[in-house]
Amino acid sequence: MVSDAYLPPRRPSGRQRFNVLGALHAITHEIITVTNDTYINSESVVTLLGALAKKFTDLPMTVVLDNARYQRNAFVMAEAERLHVTLLWLPTYSPNRNLIERLWKFVKAECLYGRYYPTFAPFKKAISDCLEHAADHHKVKLDSLLTLKFQMFESAS
C-alpha cells in the first residue's frame, strides 16, 4: 500500500523577538538602529535619540515619529529636549508619510518573505546584515524607494 503523507512546511519552534528601532537620514539614507530581543519601549527610543545626537553633533536634528505610546511620553520628550533633538509627530495612521516604513517593507521583502531560518541566530543575522549593508549592497533600490516624494490623500470628510 502506498500513501502520501502531508508534511507541513518547516517552522522553527517557539517564539523569539528581534526588535529593530531605527532612524533613517532622509537625504543620505544612513540607517541608525537600536535592537533588542525583548520589547521596544521609551528607553529604547531614548537610546536611539542618544545615538543620533552623538552621531550628528554638528547639525540641528528633527526626528519624525509616529504616535506610538512609547514614543510620546514625558520621559522621551524630556530626553529629546536635553539632547537638543526636535520631535515631529506624524498624523495618526499615516505610514505613507514615514520613510522608515518603506525601509521596513524593503527589509521584510529581502530577508523574510519566502525564507526559512532553522534557528533564531541566522534570522537575526539576515536582518542585521541587510540593514548594515543597505547603503552599499542595496543603494540603487533604496535610492528610488526612499525618495521624499510622498503620495498625499485628500480628506474623505
Q: State pLDDT tens for residues 106-153.
A: 889 888 888 888 889 999 999 999 899 888 887 778 777 777 666 666
Residue 1 pLDDT greater than 60, yes or no: no
Cell numbers of 111, please? Answer: 530577508
**More reliable by pLDDT, 104 or 94:** 104
The overall average pLDDT reported for the chain is 84
| Residue 24 in grid coordinates | 533613517
Q: Looking at residue 14, what is its pLDDT?
A: 63
Question: Which grid coordinates belong to 148?
Answer: 521624499
Q: How far is CA 69 from CA 65, 74, 76, 126, in A?
A: 11, 11, 10, 29
pLDDT score recorded for residue 114: 87
Q: What percent of the chain has pLDDT over 90?
A: 37
Q: What is the mean pLDDT of residues 41-53?
A: 95
- The ranges assigned to domains in the chain are 19-145
Does 13 have pLDDT greater than 80?
A: no
User: Does domain 19-145 bear CATH number 3.30.70.260?
Assistant: no
Contact in structure between 130 and 110 (CB atoms under 8 Å)? yes
